[in-house]
């Protein structure tokens, strides 16, 4: 391990310390309710999922094994940008006037600038292994689509993406990124699928939603025997892949000689970034080695855990997916087109929802104005312009740091900065010009 | 030092290895011709420069001292993103089918995504020390402007930027970046300066040029006693600040157990990125420890070293700056509006020009279509979308790697990847759709 000094800002983890296994929270929370078949209402089986997913991903979706080996070819790709940086945010602490020690795990250095690449590479690989050389997917802000575009070209696969209309029109640089990596991208709802055509008729002026785009991508994959569907969040196997974030973070935190986390903040849309960072910490909590308060930061525009119900619901808008036990605003809920497109989802990962329901983590809702205010402070202090989504987690940490200052406390706070905001820059202008509103 | 294995892709340099001194090539090339006063044609003096620059930067501009201490507050800011990554490009080598061992130094992880931040932080600091709390500058593609915007807000300074019109209109995300860091930005030529108004009258349809924008920023600073002018390339003090790139790279190369560089490629517009990477290597060459062939990669649209003359000329379009001995296309040369806005300059740093004139480095001209072809291959292999400017250096390396494959050789090639191309994504789309042309 590299030496750290009292003045070190970075924990430089050598690349051989990239995790060799993914962590599966289902081993430690075995009672997470299963997904149900939408017709029979029975627990979903591997056979049910076979039309959509390759065998290895189905196995990961259903298993309760704690550790899953990361194949060497996947780990070799991770080495292009991992271990991801973990920083002490000293200048941010000073800007906030807090005695809290604030750290952040930064996933914005990945090929597309967000954590989504972690699962995309794994999903592309397991599809390739099964000979499924085409994948379809949905994307909100565009991070997931771009991540899958990058990942599929590694193994010469093709990739077709439906992007939520508000993001497709508002974030043109993201199409360019998907295209730079060789994928094709449609605005959703499109006229290319039955689901899309029906949604366009029902909601002609819709700005789209993740649920709608999922319905289109699922339909396209189901109709093409050579294609798989690929999802960027929510499902267990996605959450499992993201566990490398938290595993690395715990090693890096130890390099700073910090034995404890008091508060951990992650943004939560579908839940994969929060879970990736937090579930390895939750395991520490469950085993009595830590007592970290884990806080999911939702957007006020899609507050599934703070205002939704914990019940079975569809993952998409039309009712094509398995039924998932989760906090949901209802699968027909269409969030306002706020800038954090990656958080505009009506539900929440079943594993995250279960942990919340069991009191193992908390959730707060953050408006986008508060989020961007925190993001600008962070950017000017730390030299990283965070993604719109990440700003919600930073805002949660700001609330806590200010509370700590008022209470004379000095907690250890860890923030998940899920991505870079370079492609969200127009939203920063809107905020700085005072034109941003909460929904 | 962290352990490296045969399979390592990254040389993780601990942050205490960030250089503590800048390197000044003038100590080893003492006969670099001095800048001349435009009126008297005598070597410029510190007094001549005092209206534009703070004392420390003038001293750096004129000194022949080899090593210049980096102030702690500047080095503390460098620690936000440095040491910058240095990677073995194994997947890129495979994509090219070469036995060359290719390495790249990546400056795209800085707060604004390019190497420009290295000098911006230093310049802002030395201005602040002198109580000059406002700086003006020009910017081409926008990297330098954004870098200075970031740097000035650290010390609560104000920053006014003139951006080349073609970039101002074609790259709106860059204004947003400058604004996110609190600066103001004008399209150049503007109607805010005498120089701008004269240029708009003479060339009403101009797409602008760095020379024009420099003239405007210099005039604005000269007319405001509380303001300094700040330049992002060309001058000696800028080149000196960038020397941290090459100093870090040499340490990182040694971590890979590589005692030699056979070829080094850097993009060259004003010359600061090339010089930053290459001058510490040139020192190794001059002292007999290395025998690296250094290649400056110019754009075909502004080929100062490959097609210009080595003579005294102005740095700006109007004739306000000192006369600089450099390779130049003439200060009235207006490059075509190619995407690599940061390379659209009629001249070249006097230090780089002198080294070229003395045969200590070579120069090649690369068209933007060839540059983007190399950039797409690099992006898909390495997971980094390079800046338009950086693509020229990558294209130079591709030429060499292919020549090496044909000759059955396996040289060590180092590429300077000066920045991230996330804000250049529309240019990638233009290339991929076959709509990009060389000038």
Assigned domain for B9 exists: no
Q: Residue B311's pLDDT band (boundaries 50, 70, 90)?
A: very high
Q: Are residues B220 and B278 in the same domain?
A: no
pLDDT of residue B3: 59
Q: For residue B111, what are the contacts with CB-CB under 8 A and spacing of at least 6? A: A379, A383, A384, A385, B80, B81, B117, B147, B150, B181
Does residue B370 lie within any of the structural domains?
A: yes
Answer whether residue A304 is part of any domain. Answer: yes
Phi (first) and psi of residue A194, to 5 degrees: -60, -45
Q: What pLDDT, on the 0 to 100 scale, is given for residue A342?
A: 75
- Does one domain contain both B280 and B347? yes
- How confident is residue B7, by pLDDT bands cut at 50, 70 and 90? confident
Mean pLDDT value of segment A168-182:
89
Whether the predicted pLDDT of B27 surpasses 80: yes
Tell me: do B288 and B376 sit in the same domain: yes
Q: What angle do CA B397, B400, B404 make, to 5 degrees?
A: 135
Last residue of a domain, one of B202, B229, B256: B229
Q: At what angle do helices A172-180 and A143-154 cross, to 10 degrees?
A: 10
B178, B199, B229 — which closes off a domain?
B229
Angle between the B350-357 and B272-286 helix axes, to the nearest 10 degrees?
40
Q: Does residue B155 share a domain with residue B97?
A: no
Q: Tell whether the model's pLDDT for residue B334 goes beyond 60.
A: yes
B352-382 pLDDT, tens digit per residue, is 999 999 999 999 999 999 999 999 999 999 9
What's the mean pLDDT in A250-275? 97
Q: Would the pLDDT of A395 be above 80?
A: yes
Residue A275 has pLDDT above 60, yes or no: yes
Q: What is the pLDDT of residues A293-337, one digit of tens each?
A: 999 999 999 999 999 999 999 988 878 889 999 999 999 888 887
User: Does pTM top 0.90 for this prediction?
Assistant: yes
Q: Taking all residues of chain A, what is their mean pLDDT, rounded to a whole number? A: 94
Output the pLDDT for position A2: 56
- B91 within domain boundaries: yes
Interface subset of B 136-175, CB within 8 angstroms of A? 150, 153-154, 172-173, 175
Higher pLDDT, A262 or A333: A262
A261 versus B141: the higher-pLDDT residue is A261
The answer to whether residue B168 sits within a structural domain is yes
Q: How many CB pairs under 8 A join A and B?
A: 129
Average pLDDT for B277-296: 98
**Between vectors from CA B432 to CA B431 and to CA B438, what angle results, nearest 5°?**
20
Q: Which residues of B touch A80 (CB under 8 A)?
A: 9, 87, 91, 382-384
Cβ atoms of residues B242 and B115 within 8 Å: yes
Quick one: pLDDT band at residue B1, thresholds 50, 70, 90? low
Taking CA–CA distances from B372, the nearest residue in chain A reads A180
Same domain, A141 and A272: no
Q: Where are the beta strands (DSSP E) in A34-120?
A: 67-69, 86-88, 101-106
Residue B6: pLDDT band with limits 50, 70, 90: confident
Cβ atoms of A346 and A335 closer than 8 Å: yes
DSSP calls for A98-149: ---EEEEEE-TTSTTSBTTHHHHHHHHHHHHHTT--EEEEEESSSHHHHHHH
B224 & B343 share domain: no
Residue A334 lies in a domain: yes
What residues in B contact A91, CB-CB < 8 Å? 80
Which residue in chain A has the smallest CA separation from B13? Answer: A12
Q: Tell me, what CATH number does B128's domain have?
A: 3.40.50.1100
Residues B91 and B43 in one domain: no
Is residue A75 in some structural domain? Answer: no
Structural domain harbouring B205? 22-68+116-229
- The answer to whether residue A100 scores a pLDDT higher than 90 is yes
Q: What are the pLDDT digits (tens) for B110-141?
A: 999 999 999 999 999 999 999 999 999 999 88
Instruction: Give me the pLDDT at residue A318, please.
Output: 79
**Does one domain contain both B263 and B362?**
yes
Which of A181, A197, A229 represents a domain boundary (last residue)? A229
Q: In chain A, what residues touch B117 (CB-CB under 8 Å)?
A: 383
> d(Cα B355, Cα B347) in Å, to the nearest integer?
14
Mean pLDDT over residues B432-438, rounded?
A: 93
Please tell me which residue of chain A has the smallest CA distance to B92.
A80
Checking phi first, is residue B186 left (phi over 0); if not, alpha (psi -120 to 50) or beta?
Answer: beta
- Count: domains in chain A: 2
Q: Which of A141-150, A330-339, B75-84, B267-276 is predicted least confidently?
A: A330-339
Q: Could you say which DSSP state residue B329 is in? A: S
Tell me if B292 is assigned to some domain. Answer: yes
Residues with Cβ within 8 Å of B421's Cβ and at least 6 positions away in sequence, in order, are: B108, B375, B379, B385, B386, B387, B388, B390, B391, B427, B428
Instruction: Check whether residue B133 and residue B45 sit in a common domain.
Output: yes
CA distance B330 to chain A (A): 36
Residue B8's pLDDT is 85
- From B294, B306, B288, B287, select the one nearest B415 (Cα to Cα): B294
**Mean per-residue pLDDT, A412-416:** 98
Burial of A309 (0-12, 13-18, 19+ CB in 10 A): exposed
Domain co-membership, B426 together with B324: yes
- The span from the CA of A414 to the CA of B58, in Å, is 43
| Domain shared by A129 and A262, yes or no | no
Determine the residue of chain B that is closest to A381 in CA distance: B154
Q: Using 50, 70 and 90 to split pLDDT, how confident is the model at B2? A: low
Is residue A345 within 8 A of residue A269, CB to CB? The reply is: yes
Distance from CA of B435 to the nearest CA of A (A): 14
Q: How many CB atoms lie within 10 A of CB A422?
A: 21
Shared domain for A26 and A156, answered yes or no, is yes
């Amino acid at each position: 391990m590299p030496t750290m000094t009292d003045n070190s800002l970075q924990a430089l983890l050598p690349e051989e310390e990239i995790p060799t296994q993914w962590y599966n929270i289902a081993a430690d929370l075995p009672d997470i309710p299963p997904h149900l078949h939408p017709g029979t209402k029975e627990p979903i089986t591997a056979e049910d999922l076979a039309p959509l997913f390759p065998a290895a991903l189905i196995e990961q979706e259903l298993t309760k094994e704690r550790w899953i080996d990361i194949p060497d070819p996947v780990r070799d790709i991770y080495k292009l940008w991992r271990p991801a940086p973990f920083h002490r945010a000293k200048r941010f602490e000073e800007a906030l006037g807090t005695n809290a020690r604030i750290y952040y795990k930064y996933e914005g250095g990945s090929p597309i600038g967000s954590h989504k690449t972690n699962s995309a590479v794994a999903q592309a690989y397991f599809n390739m292994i099964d000979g499924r050389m085409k994948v379809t997917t949905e994307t909100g802000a565009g991070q997931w689509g771009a991540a899958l575009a990058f990942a599929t070209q590694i193994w010469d696969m093709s990739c077709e993406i439906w992007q939520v209309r508000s993001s497709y029109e508002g974030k043109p640089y993201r199409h360019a990124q998907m295209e730079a990596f060789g994928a094709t991208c449609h605005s959703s709802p499109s006229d290319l699928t039955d689901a899309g055509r029906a949604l366009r008729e029902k909601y002609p002026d819709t700005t789209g939603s993740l649920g709608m785009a999922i319905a289109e991508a699922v339909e396209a994959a189901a109709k093409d025997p050579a294609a798989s569907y690929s999802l960027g969040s929510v499902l267990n196997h996605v959450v499992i892949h993201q566990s490398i974030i938290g595993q690395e973070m715990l090693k890096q935190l130890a390099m700073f000689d910090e034995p404890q986390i008091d508060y951990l903040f992650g943004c939560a849309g579908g839940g994969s970034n929060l879970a990736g960072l937090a579930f390895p910490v939750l395991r520490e909590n469950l085993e009595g080695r830590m007592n970290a308060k884990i806080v999911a930061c939702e957007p006020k525009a899609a507050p599934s855990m703070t205002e939704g119900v914990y019940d079975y619901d569809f993952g998409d808008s039309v009712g094509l997916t398995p039924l998932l036990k989760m906090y949901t605003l209802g699968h027909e809920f269409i969030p306002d087109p706020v800038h954090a497109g990656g958080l505009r989802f009506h539900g929440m990962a079943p594993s995250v929802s279960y942990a919340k329901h069991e009191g193992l983590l908390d959730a707060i809702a953050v408006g986008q104005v508060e989020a961007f205010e925190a993001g600008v402070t962070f950017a000017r202090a730390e030299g990283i312009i965070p993604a719109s989504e990440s700003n919600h987690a930073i805002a949660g940490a700001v609330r806590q740091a200010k509370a700590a200052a008022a209470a004379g406390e000095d907690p250890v706070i860890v923030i998940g900065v899920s991505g870079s905001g370079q492609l969200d820059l127009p939203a920063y202008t809107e905020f700085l010009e005072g034109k941003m509103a909460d929904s």
